[in-house]
Amino acid sequence: MDLDPSHRSLLEDFVAYKLGQRGLSHPPPPPHPSPLPHPHPHPAQMAMRAAVDEFERRFSRSFSPLSSQLHVTPSSARQRLLLVAGELFGPSPGADANWGRLVAFFALGAALCQECVLKEMPHLVEQLVGCMADYLDQHLRDWIQRNGGWRQFVVLYGNGGSDASQKLGEGYWSSLKTVVTGAITVGAFLSLGAFFGSK
């Protein structure tokens, strides 16, 4: 199998994929020539797409209202993404990490990117992708490497979300739902600096 992709390339492909699902795009700055997902994606890129699609399917009741409740501004987008990471991974990210939380981080980050494009702030997408890549590099790189790298992620999720569900078990998804619900409910983000707000 190919070497692990960089966090940046994994995120760029994934965000482009999620924007494409909603018929959205953003003008990519050089040297990124295309806003489309990679035409021949790395297995880890395919696995992340499948895992997040499964995540969104399982948590649709909690996750679907997210985009309509996000209040993204140029000055707050990065901070709000870091609040998501803090809620998912806690003060010691390597201690609280697991693959499911990484999937949730990708899903929530993509939701922020989608909202930026919908609110006519597509220039923030590149900033958010960079912020996510920096967070992975600085806080989770060691955990990812200790747990087999993205190659291990492909083993778990490479055949699609249903296969991952069988390998991880329903109990795993239930425990992740508890974390995710905490990360995307109004009360949780109000207590962390009003990530959500009323319109």
Residue 85 lies in a domain: yes
pLDDT (tens, 9 = 90+) of the chain, 199 residues, equals 456 789 999 999 999 999 999 888 765 544 444 444 556 678 999 999 988 888 777 766 666 555 556 667 888 888 878 877 887 888 887 787 888 888 888 988 888 898 888 888 898 999 999 999 999 999 999 999 999 999 999 988 876 544 555 544 444 555 555 555 555 543 333 333 332 222 2
- In this predicted structure, what is the pLDDT of residue 163? 52
The C-alpha atoms of residue 8 and residue 173 are separated, in whole angstroms, by 26
Residue 199 lies in a domain: no
**CATH number of the CATH domain containing 122:** 1.10.437.10
Residue 61 lies in a domain: yes
CB atoms near residue 122 (< 10 Å): 18
**How far, CA to CA in Å, does 156 sit from each of 103, 127, 136, 162?**
12, 30, 19, 10
Enclosing domain of residue 12 = 7-191
- In this predicted structure, what is the pLDDT of residue 89? 84
Residue 169 lies in a domain: yes
Residue 197 lies in a domain: no
pTM of the predicted structure, to 2 decimals: 0.77
SS3 category, 196: strand
Residue 196 lies in a domain: no
Residues in the chain: 199
Residue 88 lies in a domain: yes
Is the preceding omega at residue 28 within 30 degrees of 0, hence cis? no
Half-sphere exposure of 190 (CA within 13 A, CB side): 6
Overall domain count for the chain: 1
SS3 category, 31: coil
In the chain, pLDDT over 70 holds for what percent of residues?
Answer: 64
- In this predicted structure, what is the pLDDT of residue 1? 43
What is the per-residue pLDDT across 55-105, written as a single tens digit (0 to 9) for each? 777 766 666 555 556 667 888 888 878 877 887 888 887 787 888 888 888
Residue 1 lies in a domain: no
